[in-house]
Amino acid sequence: MRRIQIGTLVALAGLLGSCTSSPKSESDPPNPSVHLVTPAPGVVTFYLALPAKSAELTGAATRAASPGAGYRRFVALAEAGQRFGATDEDISRVQTAVTGLGLGFAVDPTRLFARLTGTPAQWQQALGAPLEQQPGSAKNPFDAYALPDRVPEALQPAGTTLLVGEADVYDPGSDGSRPASANTPDAATAGQRAWPLNVGTPITAQCDDPLLTQKRVYTPAQIHTAYGVDKLRAQVSGAPVVTVIDLGGGWSSQDMTLAAECWGYSAPQVVQSQGDGVPSPITNVDPETSLDLQTVAAAVPGAQLRLVQTTNADGSFLDAFSRAIADPNGLPDVLTVSYGGCAIAEEQAEPDYVKTVDAVLAMAALAGVSTLVAAGDSGSTTCGAAVKAPTMSYPAVSPFVTAVGGTRLTLGDGNARTGEVVWNDSVYGEQAAGGGGSSKTQARPWYQAKAGSTSARTVPDVAALADMSPGWPVVISGSLQTVGGTSGATPFTAAALALVSASERAAGRPAVGLANGWFYAVHGTSGTFFDVTQGNNDLRSVGCCTAGPGYDLASGLGVPLWETLPATLPAPG
């Protein structure tokens, strides 16, 4: 899981096209500009939170995600925006103020925030001072911009808040070789344990590679068998729609084809869309993006696979989530996110930004979309060694996502599970473990009322394979690698959940939506979760967290049993 640099803020945007309308007199208010912005070169975007009915939105999303009356009774995004987002009057008022400065203005379809756009020259004219600028490099091909300390009042009309003061924009001309970011294992050194091997059988593949002969990597078929996804695929019908959220990385169609040929499925077409600050596809092949796409493609062959590609900045979460649920091709079944960071949540650097992202995620849940987020690869210390206490990752701690932690999986004959413990590779010389613990800032959500005694949101919710060796297979730049992390566990779990949602839709019922209400309600019922009771994710001796029977802060509810868990899905209320 990639950790976003602390302090980076808003993603950059595209220039919006104006809505057509009948002639208006100068005294008439402008028509509200509500639409997605198409990214364009040379345009910088900042985000403005708008007045919204946050409490009412949270209540509606909670009812839709809670088994019982109203369960899985979803609301179309446009209707949700009208009910819980900014009013036409508020939008027109803010639009008049912002466009009066010579900037572009467009309200996101959620009506929870607006995109303010302009070239650096237009921003300088509007601000009366230039944006701070830092050019990108081959290793970080994003030009960075920052607002000055003071901005005109017209940029923050009453009831609104500028959310993030920095922005990135992709510069394809500077994109060059960048170091791999995936969790790949190093060779064991003196005093460390040797990496375990893949002792499951059979190991079937249609390619030849040293990692396979040395038994240092699992194949997708082995993982699918161990977790029951192969049998789930045989039980369900319908075509899943999975959206991968990518922050700052590119991918290779050739790698997708090689992976498909190796593991025996047809390479899918990836429908890609660009986020603010990314007017053209990112060219550099990124291990994170490659792992996410290939993991989903292997788990759900035939799925409609989408990719939302944004910059690697804090504000990109807001941009990416909103674009994913406002996709003109329709809602996805699931969103999968393998990114997160410390500062914007656990250190409370941007509380208004977190509140707005949480509102967008609540609207996704109300619309019937499942959002899964990696819990992190730094154990219970996402914020690093300087903080002498457990710290979590955002957006994994949002109440409207399913946070996915990590395990170490051991297989036997027939690739049946012979053991599964909490992922922690420190004994092999790698400071990496699955995220888990209690949030400093997010209150305990309704579905965790009986999960532990803390009053805070705790993660993870569920867990799956995350060890480095034998780990997840991924083809990067034509080479097979074994990688670890909750970045593998998350897209895999998302793909399995998408199969359930697609089957529900094919049967004429609503999709699953936010899965946590279901998961916590049926936990403890036979055939729902494999209880991970051994291991810990503590990397820096902060006293958290250790697995035990039932729900715990190292493995959550455990590992979903995908062959049998779907039968426990409550009916719509």
Per the CB < 8 A criterion, the answer to whether 50 and 76 are in contact is no
For 79, what's the count of Cα atoms within 13 Å in the CB-facing half-sphere?
Answer: 6
- Paired with 3 in beta bridges are 340
- Euclidean distance between CA atoms 174 and 116, whole angstroms: 26
**Which residues touch 303 (CB under 8 Å, ≥6 apart)?**
239, 240, 241, 242, 268, 296, 297, 495, 498, 502
CA 488, 489, 492, 494 torsion: positive or negative? negative
* SS3 call for 480: strand
For 42, left (φ over 0), alpha (ψ -120 to 50), or beta?
left
Owner of token pair 């050739």: 254
CA dihedral 310, 350, 116, 151 (to 10 degrees): -140
For 26, what's the count of Cα atoms within 13 Å in the CB-facing half-sphere?
Answer: 1
- The candidate with the shortest Cα–Cα distance to 39, out of 65, 12, 20, 64, is 12
**Relative orientation angle of helices 287-299 and 486-506, to the nearest 10 degrees:** 40
Pairing of strands 402-411, 417-422: antiparallel
The helix (H) or strand (E) run that includes residue 93 is: helix 88-99
The helix (H) or strand (E) run that includes residue 84 is: helix 77-84
Catalytic annotation, residues: 288, 292, 487
- Euclidean distance between CA atoms 415 and 231, whole angstroms: 13
The alpha carbons of the chain give a radius of gyration, in whole angstroms, of 23
Helices and strands (H, E) in the chain, number of each type:
13, 24
Amino acid at 285: V
Tokens of 326: 């406002």
- Euclidean distance between CA atoms 573 and 317, whole angstroms: 31
DSSP assignments along 433-453, one per residue? B---EEEEEEEPPGGGTTS-S
- Euclidean distance between CA atoms 492 and 393, whole angstroms: 20
The helix (H) or strand (E) run that includes residue 410 is: strand 402-411
- Euclidean distance between CA atoms 358 and 514, whole angstroms: 13
- Euclidean distance between CA atoms 540 and 542, whole angstroms: 6
- Euclidean distance between CA atoms 368 and 71, whole angstroms: 10
